[in-house]
A and B are shown apart, each in its own frame.
Chain A
Amino acid sequence: MRARWKTRDVMLTVVLGVTFGFLYWALVQAWTALSVLAGPFGDLTQHVLLGGWLLVAPVAVAITRRPGSGVVAEVMASIVEVVFLGSPVGPMLLIAALLQGVGSELPFALTRYRRFGWGIYAVSGALGALLVFGFSAARAGWFGSDLLALRLGLQIASGVLLGGLLARVLVSALRRTGVLESFAIAREPAPART
């Protein structure tokens, strides 16, 4: 936190962003298939997968423990999607990603990047989902729609599960592989294997 970013931190954040950008793209394929299958409710099924988009920020923060790494990784992922793979949401995805990153990183920042329990991850996912929900609701005119509460509920639940708790599972799995030995995360004792 107090130390400068090391080049490895920069590289890791960017690599995470790019890899997740690619994986998000795979997710988008599943997403489009799902939304066509579900017909009129296609738009809704997409909310179920929304949390997946929030995943990279908590992962980057938990590994590097540098302020801003979550936001950078999330924005990188969205750049990959928009510029190289082409997402139907277009450049506004960058703004959405910025909001997601800020929302997901806020709980970690408030605890000064010291606490990485299940609770913090869950709050991170929920907050990211909430921020981006406000943004897309304003853009797509959902406020007048009948489904506002349902949309909000689905997105928050998805954010907590896919964007929060899954991130912790992923981080501990990554840690067990040993590739994170040179990062800030390795300074705390490894959790007991479950």
Chain B
Amino acid sequence: MKADRTLDCVGLYCPMPIVKTSQEIKGMKEGEILEVIADDVGIKSDMPAWAEKTGNQFLGIEEEGGEIRVYVKKGSAG
């Protein structure tokens, strides 16, 4: 998936990927897509939960060799 920004969270554990995502998305425009790369499997459930409660749109997950790429689209309230 094509993203406007990429955030590398490989090696980071909860809550850091989510905390960093929330900080990163603050500087983005509505409709822009953020790609977060992580290897803590918790993010697979945490990111949709975070997006739902913050008005951002969770777009999906791509997994390859222990590397998890999650995609979030910035919403109007996010």
- The judgment on whether A and B are partners is no
Q: Interface residues, chain B, CB within 8 Å of chain A?
A: none
